[in-house]
Amino acid sequence: MATSAKGRPIRIVIFIQENKTTDFYFPTLADWGAEVVHPGHLLPNAPDFDQPHDRNAWVHYKMGDYPAARLQVDTDRVIPFYSWLAKQFTFCDRHFGLGTNSTPGHMLAIGGQTPTLRNPPSTQPEPMWDLPTLFKHVERAGLSWGAFPDDHDYPVKYYTELSDPKSRRHIHAWTTTSPGSAWTRWCSPEDGPTPSSSSRGTTGADTRTTSRPRTPRRYRIRSTRRASR
């Protein structure tokens, strides 16, 4: 998040990934004041598997049928660029999942609400919902925006208000370099920490609101305390 001389944001870039918790990615940020779990025993490389993470797995976990996998990576070693972004810019240590499939989480992230608790079936026509998005809020405020989903336009394709030609010009296109803009990119699994990619780092950033005192090496940790439970 870049800021002007008066401290107002002039450009916000949001990277969206999924299927891993904040504690999994960022345990070493506990040393910088972030509220994350850091019991030690960090993995020097990312796991080569992905644990079940659909709603069925969550329900059985809550019922006590089996424990959740408790794994954490060494942030600075496995995802050094994530670590740099979190320290240099902004970081959010309060995250709350819906306990279900991918689509609801993505729609919550860009629209603040979700009309479904599952992924739309691939064997049926794709749905479209008449729901607001942060992109149009930005546009109505007189600012510019851009969205960079995957090759299938997931999940922006589910929004009626993003289907018109004018809105489509903002998708998959760097249309502005002007101050006052918001860009959102969905990262593919290949962007996340895997055994083959961890050595080169990855890209990602979150936002938070309330600042803490400056920490050494000109890095800053910011925290939010307004999240509802």
In a domain, 229, yes or no: no
**CB 117 within 8 Å of CB 56:** no
Which residues have CB under 8 Å from 73's CB, separation 6+?
A: 24, 25, 27, 42, 43, 45, 46, 79, 193, 198
pTM over 0.85: no
Local confidence band at 68 (pLDDT 50, 70, 90 cut-offs): confident
pLDDT, mean over the chain: 75
Residue 27: the pLDDT is 93
Residue 21: the pLDDT is 82
Side-chain half-sphere of 78: how many Cα atoms within 13 Å? 20
Residue 213: the pLDDT is 33
Number of folded domains that form the chain: 1
Mean pLDDT of 59-73: 88
pLDDT tens digit string along 177-195? 444 555 666 655 445 554 4
pLDDT tens digit string along 127-150? 999 999 999 999 998 888 999 888
Give me the domain span that covers residue 206.
2-223
In a domain, 228, yes or no: no
Residue 160: the pLDDT is 97
Residue 57: the pLDDT is 83
**CB 155 within 8 Å of CB 107:** yes
Query: What region does 19 belong to: left with phi over 0, alpha with psi -120 to 50, or beta?
Result: left
In a domain, 125, yes or no: yes
pLDDT tens digit string along 78-116? 999 989 988 888 787 877 677 778 899 899 989 999 999
In a domain, 189, yes or no: yes
Residue 70 pLDDT > 90, yes or no?
Answer: no
In a domain, 206, yes or no: yes
